[in-house]
């Protein structure tokens, strides 16, 4: 076994190149080539280096490769406010002002210093080039905010259609705005709100067709789609299994395709989401559980246009996460990766930050599942047993950014006091 381990480590080392600054990303850009979709993952939602290296990639994609769209695992209404600010249509002295308005838990995912720096640079890029820049949310969780957006539009612009929005609102409100409660009631005790949201989407699409700008049509219709798919998501939750998770990722895919269509056939998009969304589910144990994800669907539907998926992971460090769902964020330690895991193999093979082009890995041992760490917004460093996804790494991604030691993200909102001093953020040289 030891001989096999050494062979795997040597193969990883052969496929890797040191990652010290943005110039070291050139092999990745060569791999991206003219691909239309670049999917950038992360092994957590609270690690500074994941955000900073994804920012370095994104800067280059916008500045040198003609990308105009950034889509993230976030809420549509919040993220669309960023797009409107980038266009000069929303208040805020800088990106930090806009991101502080992100109030739905977990706020730290997008309201952080790392994202603020990137969005400010995207604004400067737009100002200097005059090109279009979009920052969009792909997720399905913003039911109440999206319902408020649709209701406000109908009240001001199409009061004759407002009744359908009120019926949908009243239907959901009868569960006390508790979507877990709604899921239980809709599953067992009463009819769901499905009919109300379908009528609402039909009315909204009719109204959207009369709007003057395509951007406004996209915003209005997408909020209505979020309402429909959020209802499907929460209703599916009560039955357990893979149904609700698949609703979520299918929504992400459909949203990304809608955004790409809005920006035109020549547009190119970069996506930021967790590894569990962008890494092809067919090459993990997710497939056995009946799960699909964004990365799988994009490869299946858009292979002819080019889809490049980049995973991210680290051996140890610190992270921003919560101890339970909805609890305050805090800085936590991340212990060394479990022996035999992908991160452990990379640590032993490399011992430093590196870019690994997975197409160069030929060792047959690496075409078998190994555990790959996945940290969610809820995390317990003392119990990491469920934090490893069996993965055939060279098939799940096209490239992998390995970071030997990482540090916690820098949220804009207050977090619980850390046990050790908070580190000051570093910045990469601007690529825009």
Which of 142, 140, 258 has the alpha carbon at shortest distance from 208? 258
Angle between helices 214-237 and 143-157 (to 10 degrees): 140
Cβ pair 35, 305 in contact under 8 A: yes
The helix (run of H) or strand (run of E) holding residue 38 is strand 37-40
Say whether both 379 and 329 belong to one domain.
yes
Strand partners, 406: 317
User: How do 69-72 and 269-272 pair as beta strands?
Assistant: parallel
Q: Give the 3-state secondary structure of residue 230.
A: helix
pLDDT at 186: 62
Say whether both 101 and 48 belong to one domain.
yes
Beta strands in 297-406 (DSSP E): 307-321, 330-334, 354-357, 370-373, 388-391, 399-406
SS3 sequence, 232-287? HHHHHHCCCCCHHHHHHHHHHHHHHHHHHHHHCCCCCEEEECCHHHHCCHHHECCC
Q: Give the 3-state secondary structure of residue 341.
A: coil
Residue 233 counted as domain residue: yes
Say whether both 82 and 155 belong to one domain.
no
Domain with 336, as residue range(s), is 2-138+256-406
Of 239, 270, 303, the one marking the end of a domain is 239
Say whether both 127 and 155 belong to one domain.
no
Residue 213 counted as domain residue: yes
Say whether both 261 and 186 belong to one domain.
no
Of 208, 239, 270, the one marking the end of a domain is 239
Residue 432 counted as domain residue: no
Which of 304, 307, 265, 243 has the alpha carbon at shortest distance from 32? 307
Residues 6+ apart with CB under 8 A from 135: 70, 72, 79, 82, 83, 86, 119, 122
Q: Going residue by residue through the chain (432 aa), what tens digit of pLDDT does each one get?
A: 444 555 788 889 999 999 999 999 999 999 999 999 999 999 999 999 999 999 999 999 999 999 999 999 999 999 999 999 999 999 899 999 999 999 999 999 999 999 999 999 999 999 999 888 999 999 999 999 999 999 999 998 888 888 998 988 888 887 666 777 676 666 554 567 888 999 999 999 988 888 878 889 999 999 999 999 999 998 888 776 788 999 999 999 999 999 999 999 999 999 999 999 999 999 999 999 999 999 999 999 999 999 999 999 999 999 999 999 999 999 999 999 999 999 999 999 999 999 999 987 766 667 789 999 999 999 999 998 889 999 999 999 999 999 999 999 999 998 876 544 334 333 333 333
* CA-to-CA dists, residue 202 to 80, 130, 257, 357, angstroms: 22, 35, 20, 46
> End-to-end distance of the chain based on CA atoms, in angstroms?
48
Say whether both 22 and 159 belong to one domain.
no
């Amino acid at each position: 076994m030891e001989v096999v381990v050494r062979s795997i480590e040597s193969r990883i080392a052969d496929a890797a190149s040191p990652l010290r600054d943005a110039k070291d990303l050139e092999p990745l850009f060569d791999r991206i080539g003219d691909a239309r979709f670049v999917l950038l993952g992360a092994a957590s939602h609270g690690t500074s280096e994941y955000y900073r290296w994804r920012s370095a990639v994104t800067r280059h994609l916008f500045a040198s490769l003609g990308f105009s769209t950034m889509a993230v695992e976030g809420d549509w209404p919040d993220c669309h406010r960023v797009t409107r600010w980038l266009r000069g249509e929303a208040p805020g002295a800088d990106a930090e002002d806009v991101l502080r308005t992100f109030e739905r838990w977990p706020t730290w995912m997008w309201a952080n210093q790392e994202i603020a720096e990137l969005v400010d640079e995207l604004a400067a890029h737009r100002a200097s080039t005059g090109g279009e820049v979009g920052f969009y949310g792909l997720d399905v969780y913003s039911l109440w905010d999206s319902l408020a957006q649709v209701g406000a539009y109908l009240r001001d612009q199409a009061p004759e259609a407002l009744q359908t929005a009120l019926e949908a609102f009243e239907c959901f409100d009868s569960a006390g705005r508790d979507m877990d409660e709604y899921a239980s009631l809709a599953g067992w005790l009463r009819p769901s709100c499905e009919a109300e949201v379908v009528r609402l989407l039909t009315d909204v699409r009719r109204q959207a067709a009369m709007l003057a700008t395509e951007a406004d049509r996209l915003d209005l219709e997408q909020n209505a789609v979020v309402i429909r798919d959020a209802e499907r998501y929460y209703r599916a939750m009560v039955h357990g299994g893979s149904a609700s998770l698949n609703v979520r990722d299918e929504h992400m895919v459909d949203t990304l395709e809608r955004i790409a269509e809005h920006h035109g056939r020549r547009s190119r998009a970069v996506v930021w989401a967790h590894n569990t969304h962008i890494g092809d589910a067919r090459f993990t144990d997710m497939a056995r559980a009946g799960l699909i994800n964004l990365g799988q669907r994009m490869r299946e539907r858009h292979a002819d246009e080019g889809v490049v998926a980049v995973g991210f992971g680290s051996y140890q460090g610190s992270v921003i996460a919560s101890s339970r769902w909805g609890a305050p964020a805090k800085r936590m330690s991340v212990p060394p990766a479990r022996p035999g895991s992908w991160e452990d193999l990379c640590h032993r093979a490399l011992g430093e930050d590196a870019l690994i082009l997975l197409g160069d890995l030929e060792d047959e041992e690496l075409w078998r599942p190994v555990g790959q760490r996945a940290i969610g917004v809820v995390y317990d460093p003392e119990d990491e047993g469920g934090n490893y996804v069996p993965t055939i790494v060279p098939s799940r991604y096209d490239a992998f950014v390995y970071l030997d030691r990482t540090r916690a993200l820098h949220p804009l909102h207050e977090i619980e006091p850390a046990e050790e001093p908070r580190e000051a953020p570093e910045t990469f040289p601007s690529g825009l």
